[in-house]
Amino acid sequence: MSEDEVAHDLKQQAKLDKSADKIKEFLATNEEKLGSQRKPVKSNITDPDSAKMTTSKGTIQGYNGIAINDDKHQVIMQAQVWGSVGEQQTLKPAIEDLKKQLTELGTPDALCEAKFTADSGFHSEVNLEFMATTGLDAYIADTAFRSRNPLFKESETYHTEQEKRRLKRSKGRARLFNSKDFYFDKKKNECHCPAGKEMWLSVKNVETAGRQYVRFSGYLKDCRVCPLQKQCMRKAPTKQGRQVQFETGKTTKSISYTDRMRVKIDSSPGRREYSKRLGAIEPVFGNITVNKGMNKFTLRGQEKVNTQWQMYCLVHNIEKLRNSLH
């Protein structure tokens, strides 16, 4: 090995040692970052407050900008950034901060008279349970909200666009069979797969969110040689065949907050209230990101990024207040 090669290796070793020391120092002085499921998540020694999130432009290290505004004047009343992948864990602190602000303004009962809408990114059983304690008349959609809308069932355009989005997410892979493609006889408690093969009852009673299910599994010997395997399973089976479950009934337990919200938001008044969300919040983000040019944060650290986000929200509010005076 030449002297140049030795010098290069020593330089690389020193660089790696320096990085290792920096990581050790970071771990010793910072608490472990936990996600919404209270599990450790990957951190970043350059900006530990930020989160790794997937966007339309790929995976980035950044923040979620959250805003709450009124629908009449589109004035932002609460704005914060959060270093989290999803939006679910941001709802409770945002509402609590809003209540605190309204109390300081001398209007603590304002929320009791308001209707609150939020998209499916904020939907969770925990959030719905919390919202039930706030006095807010809330309308928060779940991910299947659109698919349950009678207007979309016969809409060719909706299903075409939905399929385009699915193909983009799956990179062109064919749609896999779901439970609707399997033949389930509820009375006999029997199930056959799309290839006509009998499946065995693997679990007699599965309980999820107050609902009861039965689970069937395909025989491994059948799934391994099945001509429809690529349409049914993401990977070739090695330890077990395809599994599928069907709802058999509801338990006698209390109805979940998710079920209550589903009934509320699927009603005609509920759909009318939720439809107002599009015209209330989307123009706000459109104004800030397009007209004001705030299409990405340019600082590091939650405190700095939060200040930057609130500054742009403040400019937006000044513009809205000025327009309301004309």
Structure confidence by residue, pLDDT tens digits, 242-293: 999 998 876 555 678 998 999 999 998 999 999 999 999 999 999 999 999 9
Report the pLDDT value the prediction gives residue 265, as an integer from 0 to 100: 93
Q: State the Cα–Cα distance between residues 4 and 199, nearest whole angstrom.
A: 66
Mean pLDDT for 33-57 is 77
Q: What are phi and psi of 116, to 5 degrees?
A: -120, 130
Q: State the Cα–Cα distance between residues 140 and 118, nearest whole angstrom.
A: 5
Tens-place pLDDT, residues 180-189:
899 999 888 8
Report the pLDDT value the prediction gives residue 36, as an integer from 0 to 100: 64
Beta bridge pairs of residue 60: 53
Tell me the two tokens of residue 121.
Answer: 């990114």
Residue whose structure tokens are 């193909």: 167
- 142 pLDDT tier (thresholds 50, 70, 90): very high
Is the model's pLDDT at 113 over the cut of 90? no
Mean pLDDT for 4-17 is 87
Is the model's pLDDT at 96 over the cut of 90? yes
Is the model's pLDDT at 38 over the cut of 80? no
Mean pLDDT for 178-204 is 91
128: region left, alpha or beta (phi > 0 left; psi from -120 to 50 alpha): alpha
Q: Give the list of residues 6+ apart from residue 24 with CB closer than 8 angstroms, or none.
A: none
**Gyration radius of the chain's alpha carbons:** 26
Task: Give the E-state strand segments of the chain in sequence order.
Answer: 51-55, 58-62, 64-69, 76-82, 115-118, 137-140, 183-185, 190-192, 198-208, 211-217, 243-250
- Mean pLDDT rounded to a whole number for the chain: 87
Report the pLDDT value the prediction gives residue 140, as an integer from 0 to 100: 95
Is the model's pLDDT at 10 over the cut of 90? no
Report the pLDDT value the prediction gives residue 299, as an integer from 0 to 100: 92
Lowest-confidence segment of 56-60, 63-67, 196-200, 286-290 by average pLDDT: 56-60
Sequence length of the chain is: 326
Q: State the Cα–Cα distance between residues 102 and 308, nearest whole angstrom.
A: 23
Mean pLDDT for 154-169 is 76
Residue whose structure tokens are 């069932």: 153
Report the pLDDT value the prediction gives residue 221, as an integer from 0 to 100: 92
Report the pLDDT value the prediction gives residue 207, as an integer from 0 to 100: 81
Mean pLDDT for 120-144 is 91
Q: State the Cα–Cα distance between residues 277 and 132, nearest whole angstrom.
A: 19
- 125 pLDDT tier (thresholds 50, 70, 90): very high
Q: State the Cα–Cα distance between residues 96 and 159, nearest whole angstrom.
A: 39
Report the pLDDT value the prediction gives residue 253, as an integer from 0 to 100: 59
Is the model's pLDDT at 163 over the cut of 90? no
Report the pLDDT value the prediction gives residue 157, as an integer from 0 to 100: 81
Report the pLDDT value the prediction gives residue 215, as an integer from 0 to 100: 93
